[in-house]
Amino acid sequence: MNKINIFFLICGLSFTSFINGQTLDSLTMDSLRNFEIRMSGLSQNMVRSYDEDTRLTSGKQFIRHMARALKINNSYFFNFDSLKTVLIIKAPDDLFRIITWNVATNDEKFRYFGVIQMNPKKNKTPDTKLPIYKDFYPLIDRSDSIQNFLFKTVDTDHWFGAAYYKIIKTSDKKQDYYTLLGWDGCGPKSNKKIADILVFLNGTPIFGAPVFDLKKKNKFYRMVFEFNDKATMALRYDEAKKYLIYENIVPDKQLNTGNFEFYFPDGSFDYLIWKKGIWEKQPQMLNDFK
């Protein structure tokens, strides 16, 4: 299965859980549908066109249309159902949604783009009624230039880009943490699965926090797993048990340690549980994973 097909599969899984719970007036619906129609063709070109210039040009036009669409009042409640190459997922508390997409390049990599859009119904202080957040925050992928990315906090202009398929909400000491699970077709020979952290500090979104305790020397700000392009690695959340589960990956032989195109899942699973503001790795492996 190639990278583009994997991305479409992730998109398909995401759309089944996004439900529009808000009634929009006819004028707003017409405006948003017009944008959706324009973006639908562009979104297909971004990943399917054989010509890289066409993909890049379509990607730039898509960004412009998306920005204009999100400026429309109550656009948060519009599903954009026809954008089949775009992932749209909502936070469990409905505070925001994240929209992510990518543009394929000739070297079999993806350039990631995204936006955090806040729910206008939850964007007022109880006393002053003033906005807490901006309407939306564009995400600028700088993953190729982030040094020491496993131990760094970044802002929206220095995002560790990924296609997100799950948001998990946890809390500690009145601070909410949103764990984002994502996929990155990072190169011609390897893919990545990513667990990142999103927090809002004084209304500003920040990515990365020292909350992943994998029983190493230091706590990780995000987890990044890189493995062979043809392999499939599990990174998921068990809603019933509250487990954050990941499949262990290992090199096919000792000589290839550190060369991630030769890393494969070994069939064993570890898991973390949220305790006092930390995702803590458990000492035993998971034996009943399905």
Q: Is residue 135 part of a domain?
A: yes
Give the whole-angstrom CA distance, residue 219 versus residue 272.
13
Q: What is the pLDDT of residue 151?
A: 97
Closest listed residue to residue 191, CA positions, set 220, 212, 162: 162
In 33-162, which ranges are E strands? 87-90, 96-104, 110-118, 136-140
Is 127 in a helix, a strand, or coil? coil
Report residue 37 as tokens.
Answer: 């129609």
Of the candidates 112, 88, 115, 117, which has an alpha carbon nearest to the alpha carbon of residue 101? 112
pLDDT at 153: 98
Residue type present at position 49? S
Q: Is residue 176 part of a domain?
A: yes
d(C-alpha 211, C-alpha 196), whole Å: 10
Is 217 inside any structural domain?
yes
In a domain, 289, yes or no: no
Predicted confidence at residue 19, as pLDDT, reads 38
Q: Is residue 290 part of a domain?
A: no
Please give the full DSSP string across 130-155, using - where no structure is assigned. --SS-SEEEEEB-TTT-TTGGG--B-
Give me the pLDDT at residue 17, please: 34
Non-local (6+) Cβ contacts of 5 within 8 A are none
Residue span of the structural domain in which 59 resides = 3-281
Q: Is residue 287 part of a domain?
A: no
For the sheet containing 235-238, what is the strand order?
Answer: 212-213, 278-281, 263-275, 243-251, 235-238
Low-confidence ranges of the chain (pLDDT < 50): 1, 6, 8-9, 12-21
Digit-coded pLDDT (tens) for 233-262: 999 999 999 999 999 999 999 999 999 999
Structurally, how many domains does the chain consist of?
1
And the tokens for 105? 């390049």
Q: What is the pLDDT of residues 219-240, one digit of tens each?
A: 999 999 999 999 999 999 999 9
What are 144's two structure tokens?
A: 């190729």
Burial class (CB in 10 A: 0-12, 13-18, 19+), 271: buried
Instruction: Tell me whether residue 127 is in a domain.
Output: yes
C-alpha closest to that of 244 among 265, 285, 272: 272
pTM of the model: 0.90
How far apart are the C-alpha atoms of 276 and 273, rounded to whole Å?
Answer: 10
